[in-house]
Structure 1
Amino acid sequence: MAISHNPIFNQAMSTGVEVARVDQAAVDSEFAKITSGPKMTVEGTAGKVFGMFLVLLATAGVTWFFGLTGLMFPAMIVGLGLGLWATFGKKVRPGVVIAYAAAEGVFLGALTRIFETMYPGIAQQAVLATLCTAGAMFAAYRYGWIKVNARFTRVMTFALFGYMAFALINLAVGLFTNSSGAYGTGFGWLIALVGVGLAAFTLNLDFEAITVGAREGLPVETEWRAAFGLVSSLIWLYVEILRLLSIFNRD
């Protein structure tokens, strides 16, 4: 027997509670409280994505202009910590999301400056490639060329966990051998290409999350989570493209 008109809410409410003992009127009243108030919209999420990018571009520009490449590693650690907080925190904290964008801007500004010094022109190529790839993924999602269904989500989840495990192992190997690990081999470009593909297709999961959230009328604060997810995927895509271009320039 359902305890509410929303199946997701039913699942959450049934944890540790006997369904037969729950008063339907009380549950519906509580559900009405949760779903009342401003709702998530695509436009609102887009505005927050735009705001995050303004912060990211500002800190990246300052880092680039002043050549603060020494801040790359600290910014990466801070960004990782803030990203985990924003991902697993039960409460949506806009300040954490904005701080994440600022830290990632410092990281990307420093990283790009380093690669630009080694391979002049690579920064412009990476930015253009990221914008074109993101645009292509949005078009594919918008026109239904890519169907984000349960199977697609399941395959992407396994692929992302597998790539994450590889990245951690490769990082450990690289630290011990003082090298770029698998990316320094003859198959490095192929591995980097897989990373670009995974990051690109992850954007479709973000587009779907925004669309479904707006359609289901989730609370307005959910826009910050959706914006954080999309910006994180775009940052990952840019880093992977930068890595791939560096391998091609190196060879």
Structure 2
Amino acid sequence: MSVFGLRTSNPAFTNYFWRKSSRYSKAKMSLSGIIFKSLFMLVLVSCTAFYTWHLFFAGVNTKWYTAIGALVAIFCSVFISYRNNAAKYLLPIYALAKGFFLGGISAYAHKRFPGLPFQAIGVTLLTFFVMLFLYQWKLIRVTREFRAIVISASATIFMLYFIGWILWLFDIRVPFLWGASWYAIGFNVITAIVASLSLLLDFDYINRYIGKAPKEREWVATWGFLITLIWLYVEVLRLLKKLAIRF
């Protein structure tokens, strides 16, 4: 069973992106390779995030840094989706661009609610290790039905955000997306849970292809993992911000 032909909520891990190609080397994908690349990309994200953070508190308007960073990251993701062999070239650009975006929204949140981004980072890391523990000990099994539910939920959330963003351009606010009501907090809780469960799908798909997929696919695996991890951080940050407003 699948939804839209996908086997995971993350587009980086669909069958399309893992099909065999004679252009790849005979070396196989390894867990250590994915971990190393993921850590390196997170360092790049941190560099531009801290830079944007510094500019923000130096009095510089970082609105364009944040917006352009988000647009460049989206462009890189779309391009990698169709040309996944370019992942090793575009992934560093994606990471740097995402850092500008995260630095901008995190600095703004910190100015209004001091320490909030650091709390969000802590919750994100804790969630990551909890999900890894649940997957490793098979306390939650990633079945086809489980994948279908997470995929459907992720697709629905994406569409709601997309529609909300279009309406926002016309100065129409969707309360449960951008507000701080209990409905908005409830929606954020749901999105954070779905993002957390998406980590399980990513772990499962990477585990399936360790030692099987070409080593070059480590870049694609890293890209997919970053998408989920950053999504989780953003959702946690938004949730904590809404809770801070309410309380």
Q: Secondary structure at the match of 1:144?
A: coil
Residues in 2 aligned to 1:180 and 1:153: alpha-carbon distance in whole angstroms: 29
**Pick from 83, 98, 106: which aligns with 1:104?**
98
| 1:145 alignment partner in structure 2 | 139
**Pick from 89, 105, 111: which aligns with 2:83?**
89
Shift, 1:88, TM fit: 2.7
Q: Which amino acid aligns with 1:159?
A: A
Which structure is higher in RCO with an 8 Å CA cutoff and minimum separation 6? 2
**Pick from 217, 221, 224: which aligns with 2:216?**
221
Q: Specify every segment of 5 or more residues in structure 2 that has no aligned partner in the other structure, as ranges.
A: 1-14
| 1:191 alignment partner in structure 2 | 187
Residues in 1 aligned to 2:140 and 2:34: alpha-carbon distance in whole angstroms: 22
| 2:52 alignment partner in structure 1 | 63
Q: Which is further off, 145-154 or 63-72?
A: 63-72
Pairwise mapping of residues 26-65 of structure 1 onto structure 2 (< 5 A)? 37-65=26-54
**Pick from 229, 241, 246: which aligns with 1:246?**
241
TM-score (norm 1): 0.82
Kept in 1, the 8 Å contact 2:192–2:236? The answer is yes
Alignment length, in residue pairs?
Answer: 222
Residues in 2 aligned to 1:148 and 1:206: alpha-carbon distance in whole angstroms: 10
Residues in 2 aligned to 1:202 and 1:156: alpha-carbon distance in whole angstroms: 7
Residues in 1 aligned to 2:106 and 2:118: alpha-carbon distance in whole angstroms: 10
Q: Which amino acid aligns with 1:62?
A: Y
Instruction: State the identity as a percent.
Output: 27
* CA deviation string 1:13-47 (max 9, x = no partner): xxxxxxxxxxxxxxxxxx89678611101111111
Closer, same or farther: CA 66–36 of 1 in aligned 2, 3 Å: closer
2:161 counterpart of 1:167: yes
* CA deviation string 1:95-148 (max 9, x = no partner): 101110010011001110011111112111111111111111111111101111
* CA deviation string 1:70-102 (max 9, x = no partner): 211111111111111122324243110111001
Q: Secondary structure at the match of 1:39?
A: coil
Kept in 2, the 8 Å contact 1:79–1:100? The answer is yes
Q: Secondary structure at the match of 2:85?
A: coil
2:127 counterpart of 1:130: no
Q: Which amino acid aligns with 2:26?
A: G
Residues in 1 aligned to 2:101 and 2:205: alpha-carbon distance in whole angstroms: 27
Q: Which amino acid aligns with 1:128?
A: G
Closer, same or farther: CA 212–249 of 1 in aligned 2, 3 Å: same
Note the aligned Cα RMSD (angstroms): 2.1
Shift, 1:153, TM fit: 1.2
Closer, same or farther: CA 45–90 of 1 in aligned 2, 3 Å: closer
Closer, same or farther: CA 186–173 of 1 in aligned 2, 3 Å: farther
Residues in 2 aligned to 1:199 and 1:75: alpha-carbon distance in whole angstroms: 21
Residues in 2 aligned to 1:32 and 1:197: alpha-carbon distance in whole angstroms: 36
Q: Which amino acid aligns with 2:203?
A: F
2:219 counterpart of 1:230: no
Shift, 1:206, TM fit: 1.1
Kept in 2, the 8 Å contact 1:60–1:108? The answer is yes
Q: Secondary structure at the match of 1:237?
A: helix
Closer, same or farther: CA 180–120 of 1 in aligned 2, 3 Å: farther
**Which ranges of 4 or more aligned residues in structure 1 deviate by more than 4 Å?**
31-36
TM-score (norm 2): 0.84
| 2:151 alignment partner in structure 1 | 157
Shift, 1:168, TM fit: 1.2
Q: Which amino acid aligns with 2:54?
A: F
Kept in 2, the 8 Å contact 1:130–1:237? The answer is yes
